[in-house]
């Protein structure tokens, strides 16, 4: 997944540079833009799923959610891969507490809740390294 995420983040950065958006720097105005875009794209995704649109429409909308999410994260000046590494490491704690094994649904565990402050601190540390606009 790491190489794929790195490639997707790079493609999104290329797009952001092409349209004159900032990267590798915290940009509150751009964060607001991506928040709005995420709302719009998430709505389109949920509409496509709930209206039983063709699979290609649902997948296209899911990809748009991913693209806007990557733009949102990068508008904070954060490397999406570094952020996902932190979050996925925390999520692995939950794998021992599978509530519904057939579908792989996990539930929060005591260990997961106890580890959450460490994860949040790691994210704060990641953000602290970012330049501000």
As for how many domains the chain has, the answer is 1
CATH of the domain at 83: 1.10.3420.10
And the tokens for 130?
């970012």
Residues 36-72: pLDDT tens digits? 999 999 999 999 999 999 999 999 999 999 999 999 9
DSSP assignment string, 10-71:
HHHHHHHHHTT---SEE-HHHHHHHHHHHHHHHHHHHHHHHTT--HHHHHHHHHHHHHHHHH
Tell me which of 97 and 27 has the higher pLDDT. 27
Instruction: Answer yes or no: is pLDDT of 133 > 60.
Output: no
Domain hosting residue 127, numbered range: 2-132
- Four-point Cα dihedral 71, 73, 75, 79, nearest 10: -100
pTM for the whole structure: 0.83
């Amino acid at each position: 997944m790491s190489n794929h995420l790195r490639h997707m983040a790079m493609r999104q950065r290329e797009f952001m540079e092409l349209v004159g958006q900032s990267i590798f720097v915290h940009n509150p105005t751009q964060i607001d833009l991506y928040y709005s875009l995420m709302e719009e794209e998430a709505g389109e995704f949920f509409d496509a799923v709930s209206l039983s649109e063709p699979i290609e429409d649902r997948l296209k909308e899911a990809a748009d959610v991913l693209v806007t999410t990557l733009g949102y994260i990068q508008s904070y000046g954060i490397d999406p891969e570094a952020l996902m590494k932190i979050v996925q490491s925390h999520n692995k704690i939950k794998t021992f507490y599978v509530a519904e094994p057939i579908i792989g649904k996990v539930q929060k565990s005591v260990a997961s809740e106890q580890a959450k402050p460490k994860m949040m601190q790691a994210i704060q540390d990641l953000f602290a390294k970012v330049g501000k606009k």
